[in-house]
């Protein structure tokens, strides 16, 4: 005979019929039970006991999925209103049809799970929870109102192994913790997988909050909110509305909302975390949000806490937020913010050493962990992109600080203040998500910072910690921004009493009933890339200006890095002048990787904005107008990267920027050590490095401009022709045979070559409806044909005729011909 021990676990339930059940610790409606059998069996685990009077009453079921190693974070699933029903030897768990059916003329029920009954008395039923949960059903907490989204879709997984770790009473909640091994079904070429899963369930009574009024989603035109899954609402008379309603997620602010901060948050950054949370009170106009320390026995996704969880994970490159909400109203029930320690490394010198090592590692193939096939509720994704942005931020910080004569103590003060401001902004961003606010990637357009004043503003901020009140880094913390912009916004949180303009607006609409209309710019994740000025990590009012500035800044950073690391021997007093001269001959310089980097990460960002169909999020703006402000489309995308012979070197103006920065900065680093001979050596090294960058840069850049552009400016045909002619007609000093030289631009990367990409560029129809462009192509091929004719004549003069030429020469000629004519 199995002896059942009832633990002190309970849950309130309220009946749909209106009969009110009362709860006490001595009389739980739903309780955890555990067998005390000595021999191992499937029954030696927690079960659940339900009071019979609670059959048919509504409970709110909240489910959270915890990611498995290496990062046990997680996400809440869509909450469900459920009830239990007995039939024979089974208990069924059903989801309420409230909000899910357009008519109740025909009654139906939604079965979630069936549990075998283990024991039944006159007043209670004990059932095997594990046995009934053999299938795991998951639906994301967030609904995205866009074409093709299916609000009813759930993912299901077969459970192979289960361990019910904990069932306990937490205030008025039954909390269940379960560890599983589940099967992800095979899909296409992907085989089935067995994955470990950590699940937390929270059962509580479902009662309507009379103080909370649901807010219909205003859409995503002037403002953006996270949304509950659509429902068919019921009016005060009990009639079902035949049109679905989509409510935004938000808190009930008729009572304080407390965020609990985990005790592993470093003391150095705790104030910044707290101020990031409390920032939103400036927009509410009163103390709505509070902060407190999380009790030591509480953990993520456990009942009763909104948690800011500090994660000691330096390589994560992300923070994110997640919420669970009432499925019928959108009222947020619990919120979690995960703040990783990435970039918030303890001291300046430690961070500097760490990031030097980090940037040398390969972070492009990080495995994405989580349950395959399930779309999670993460609100801030793109961890790789954010990690790259953090690295860029820190590089900019280091370069600016190293330019100044600062003591180690001064550097530490600047670093600590800078990182604390960054944390303020990131925490405010993530807490904004828990308040219901989506990203606004157009907030960066509402700035008065541009390439002319950025350096001055950022350096003044770094050295003093001050940001002038008239400086506007953007209109919201709900953006992703590059460089110093995030910390500038964090400084605004620290220094000023008012919220940023969009942040005030998004609070006013959701929580104060204001109109959603605004003159502020707005775009969110679904718009990213749809508009040329709505991308993640944009800056400046003219994003094209920022992309151009970013290229120049990165060239400067490359020069900084080389001078600090490769040429630091110039300040070595132990070396004689002659030894320093000789040292140049032993230095290994290879600009290939930096050339590829500049094309992939800088030039590409400008080029992709120019694609056909580009439109602006800004009223009255267009691509041509914005490009004209920085010199025009063809100038920036073609003429600027075309190699030109200047000062005895064939090099594009794009990569010539490196030489200028390198030589200017060399004086800042080593002025007192430089002689005319050393300056000449530095000049030679800079040219060599820039030339190595050039070929790999062109190789990687050409595919990004081999595309249909949105418009053709007056110089496009000319600039296009010049670039093609340089790439095809320039010869190296390497002689193939007497008087015949190999192509100069023949950089190769595996099986691919710059020459082949130049051929694709030549043959691409940039403007199918432009007859003038077709004429340009015709004339260009005619000019190149003359080069071919000359080459054939030279071969014939050497060997009598082309047909008598050696195999290598013969093949070379026809490869040239094929690349020009494609036949």
> What DSSP letter does each residue of 154-195 carry, written as one string?
-EEEEEEEEEEEEEEEETTEEEEEEEEEEEEPPBTTBPPEEE
Q: What is the structure's pLDDT at 476?
A: 98
Counting DSSP H helices and E strands in the chain, the numbers are: 21, 25
Q: What was the pLDDT predicted at 382?
A: 52
Q: Are residues 505 and 628 in the same domain?
A: no
CB 510 within 8 A of CB 209: no
Is-above-0.85 flag for pTM? yes
Distance CA 615, CA 637 (A): 18
Q: Are residues 520 and 647 in the same domain?
A: no
Mind listing the pLDDT tens digit for each residue in 37-52?
A: 433 333 445 788 899 9
Whether residues 808 and 745 fall in one domain: yes
Specify whether the CB–CB gap between 537 and 640 falls below 8 A: no
Least confident range from 297-306, 567-576, 709-718: namely: 297-306
Q: Which of 789, 787, 790, 794 is nearest to 809 (CA)?
A: 794
Q: Are residues 570 and 501 in the same domain?
A: no
For residue 113, pLDDT beyond 80: yes
Q: In the prediction, which pLDDT does 558 show? A: 93
Is residue 213 a part of any domain in this protein? no
The SS3 call for residue 566 is: coil
Instruction: Characterize the bridge pairing of strands 332-340 and 306-311.
Output: parallel
Task: Work out the average pLDDT over 326-332.
Answer: 96
Per cent of the chain over pLDDT 90 is 64
Residue 210 lies in a domain: no
Taking alpha carbons only, the member of 345, 347, 325 closest to residue 335 is 325
Find tokens 């007609």 and name the residue: 729
Q: Are residues 452 and 562 in the same domain?
A: no
Average pLDDT over residues 549-555: 94
Residue 122's pLDDT band (cuts 50, 70, 90): very high
Are 495 and 551 part of one and the same domain?
A: no
Mean pLDDT of 437-449: 97
Peptide bond into 70 cis (omega under 30): yes
Domain membership of residue 244 (yes or no) is no
Q: What pLDDT sits at residue 20? A: 57
Residue in 741, 703, 743 with CA at minimum distance from that of residue 726: 743
pLDDT digits (tens, 9 = 90+) for 167-218: 888 878 889 999 999 988 777 888 888 888 899 999 998 988 999 999 999 9
CA pair distance 78, 719, nearest whole angstrom = 55
Residue 105 lies in a domain: yes
What are 724's two structure tokens?
Answer: 């093609």
Claim to verify: residue 472 and residue 559 sit in the same structural domain: no
Is the domain of 450 the same as that of 515? yes
Question: Are 296 and 385 within one domain?
Answer: yes
Is the distance from CB of 437 to CB of 289 less than 8 angstroms? no
The pLDDT, as a whole number, for residue 406 is 84
Q: How many structural domains compose the chain?
A: 3
- Assign 3-class secondary structure to 223-236: CCECECCCECCECC
Question: In 72-122, which residue ranges form alpha helices assigned H by DSSP?
Answer: none
Do the Cβ atoms of 215 and 258 come closer than 8 Å? no
pLDDT in tens, 357-403: 555 444 444 433 344 444 444 456 555 666 677 777 777 787 777 77
Of 165, 185, 205, the residue that ends a domain is: 205
Tell me: do 391 and 277 sit in the same domain: yes
- Identify the three-state secondary structure at position 592: helix
- In a shared domain, residues 617 and 746: yes
pLDDT > 80? residue 72: no
Tell me the C-alpha distance between 345 and 252, whole Å: 36
Residue 234 located in a structural domain: no
Q: What is the pLDDT of residues 620-671, one digit of tens each?
A: 999 999 999 999 999 999 999 999 999 899 999 999 999 999 999 999 899 9
Long-range contacts of 816-823 (CB under 8 A, 24+ apart): 816/788, 816/791, 817/788, 818/759, 819/728, 819/755, 819/756, 819/758, 819/759, 819/762, 820/728, 820/759, 820/762, 820/781, 820/784, 820/785, 820/788, 821/781, 822/759, 822/763
pLDDT at residue 147, as a whole number: 53
* pLDDT score, position 188: 80
Of 434 and 391, more confident? 434
**What local confidence, expressed as pLDDT, does residue 325 receive?**
95
Residue 758 has pLDDT above 50, yes or no: yes
Question: What per-residue confidence (pLDDT) applies to 45?
Answer: 54
- Establish if 227 belongs to a structural domain: no
Question: Which of 527, 552, 574 is the endpoint of a domain?
Answer: 527
Q: Is residue 236 part of a domain?
A: no
pLDDT band at 156 (very low <50, low <70, confident <90, very high): confident
Burial of 149 (0-12, 13-18, 19+ CB in 10 A): exposed
Mode of pairing for the β-strands spanning 257-261 and 289-293: parallel
pLDDT of residue 290: 98
Whole-number pLDDT of residue 4? 28
Which of 57-66, 344-353, 527-536, 589-598 has the lowest average pLDDT? 344-353
Domain annotation covers residue 730: yes
Each residue of 221-265: pLDDT tens digit? 899 999 999 999 988 888 999 999 999 999 999 999 999 999 999
Kindly report the average pLDDT of the chain as a whole number. Answer: 87
pLDDT(346) > 60: yes
Among candidates 351, 354, 346, 350, which has minimal Cα distance to 267?
346
Q: Name the more confident of 509 and 130.
A: 509
Distance CA 173, CA 712 (A): 65
Neighbours of 18 (CB within 10 A): 6
Lowest mean pLDDT among 104-113, 150-159, 564-573: 150-159
Residue 270 shares a structural domain with residue 418: yes
289, containing H or E segment: strand 289-293
134: domain range?
Answer: 4-205
């Amino acid at each position: 005979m199995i002896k059942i021990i009832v633990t002190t676990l309970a849950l309130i339930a309220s009946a749909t019929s209106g009969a009110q059940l009362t709860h006490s610790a001595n009389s739980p409606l739903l309780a955890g039970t555990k067998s005390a059998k000595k021999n191992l069996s499937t029954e030696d685990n927690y079960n659940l006991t339900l009071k019979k009077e609670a059959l048919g009453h509504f409970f709110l079921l909240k489910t959270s999925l915890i990611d498995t190693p290496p990062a046990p974070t997680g996400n809440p699933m869509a909450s469900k209103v459920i009830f239990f029903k007995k039939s024979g030897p089974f208990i069924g768990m059903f989801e309420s049809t409230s909000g899910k059916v357009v008519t109740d003329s025909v009654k139906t029920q939604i079965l979630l799970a069936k549990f075998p009954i283990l024991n039944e008395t006159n007043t209670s039923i004990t059932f095997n929870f594990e046995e009934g949960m053999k299938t795991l059903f998951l639906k994301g907490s967030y609904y995205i109102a866009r074409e093709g989204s299916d609000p009813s879709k759930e993912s299901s997984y077969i459970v192979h192994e289960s361990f019910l770790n904990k069932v306990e009473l937490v205030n008025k909640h039954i909390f269940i913790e379960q560890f599983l091994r589940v099967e992800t079904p095979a899909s296409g070429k992907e085989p089935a997988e067995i994955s470990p899963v950590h699940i937390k369930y929270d059962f509580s009574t479902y009662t309507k909050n009379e103080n909370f009024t649901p807010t219909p989603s205003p859409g995503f035109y002037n403002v953006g909110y996270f949304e509950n899954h659509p429902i068919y609402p019921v009016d005060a008379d009990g009639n079902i509305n035949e049109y679905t309603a989509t409510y935004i997620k938000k808190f009930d602010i008729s009572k304080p909302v407390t965020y609990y901060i985990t005790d592993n948050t470093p003391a150095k950054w705790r104030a910044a975390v707290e101020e990031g949370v409390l920032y939103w009170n400036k927009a509410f106009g009163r103390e709505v949000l509070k902060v407190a320390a999380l009790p030591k026995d509480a953990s993520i996704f456990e009942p009763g806490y909104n948690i800011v969880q500090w994660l000691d994970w330096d390589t994560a490159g992300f923070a994110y937020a997640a919420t669970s909400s009432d499925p019928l109203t959108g009222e947020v029930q619990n919120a979690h913010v995960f703040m990783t320690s990435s970039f918030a490394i303890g001291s300046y010198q430690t961070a500097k050493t760490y990031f030097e090592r980090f940037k040398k590692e390969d972070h492009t193939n990080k495995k994405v962990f989580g349950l395959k096939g399930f779309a999670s509720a993460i609100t801030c994704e793109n961890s790789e992109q954010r990690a790259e942005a953090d690295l860029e931020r820190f590089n900019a910080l280091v370069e600016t600080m190293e330019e100044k004569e600062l003591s180690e103590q001064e550097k530490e003060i600047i670093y600590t203040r800078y990182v604390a401001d960054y944390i303020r902004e990131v925490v405010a961003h993530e807490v904004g998500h828990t308040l219901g606010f989506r990203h606004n990637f157009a907030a960066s357009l509402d700035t008065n910072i541009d390439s002319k004043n950025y350096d001055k503003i950022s350096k003044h901020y770094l050295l003093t910690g001050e940001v002038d009140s008239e400086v506007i880094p953007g209109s919201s913390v709900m953006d992703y921004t590059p460089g110093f912009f995030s910390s500038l916004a964090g400084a605004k949180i620290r220094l000023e009493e008012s919220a940023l303009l969009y942040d005030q607006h998004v609070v006013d609409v959701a929580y104060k009933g204001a109109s959603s209309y605004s003159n502020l710019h707005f775009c969110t994740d679904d718009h990213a890339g749809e508009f040329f000025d709505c991308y993640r990590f944009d800056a400046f009012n003219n994003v094209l200006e920022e992309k151009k500035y970013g290229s120049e800044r990165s060239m400067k950073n490359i020069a900084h890095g080389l001078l600090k690391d490769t040429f630091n021997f110039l300040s070595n007093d132990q070396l004689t002048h002659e030894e320093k001269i000789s040292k140049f001959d032993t230095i290994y310089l290879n600009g290939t990787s930096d050339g590829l980097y500049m094309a992939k990460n800088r030039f590409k960002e400008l080029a992709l904005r120019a694609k056909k169909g580009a439109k602006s999020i800004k009223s009255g703006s267009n691509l041509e107008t914005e490009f004209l402000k920085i010199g025009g489309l063809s100038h920036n995308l073609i003429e600027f990267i075309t190699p030109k012979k200047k000062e005895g070197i064939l090099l594009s103006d794009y990569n010539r920027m490196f030489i200028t920065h390198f030589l200017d900065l060399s004086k800042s680093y080593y002025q007192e050590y430089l002689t005319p001979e050393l300056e000449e050596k530095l000049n030679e090294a800079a040219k060599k490095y820039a030339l190595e960058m050039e070929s790999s840069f062109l190789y990687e850049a050409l595919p990004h401009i081999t595309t249909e552009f949105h418009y053709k400016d007056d110089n496009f045909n000319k600039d296009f022709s010049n670039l093609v002619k340089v790439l095809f007609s320039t010869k190296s000093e390497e002689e193939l045979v007497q008087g015949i030289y190999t192509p100069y631009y023949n950089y190769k990367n595996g099986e691919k070559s710059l020459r082949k990409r130049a051929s694709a560029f030549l043959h691409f129809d940039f403007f199918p409806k432009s007859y003038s462009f077709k004429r340009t192509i015709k004339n260009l091929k005619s000019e190149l044909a003359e080069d071919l004719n000359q080459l054939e004549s030279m071969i014939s003069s050497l060997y009598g005729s082309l047909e008598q030429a050696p195999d290598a020469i013969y093949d070379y000629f026809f490869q040239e011909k094929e690349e020009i004519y494609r036949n």
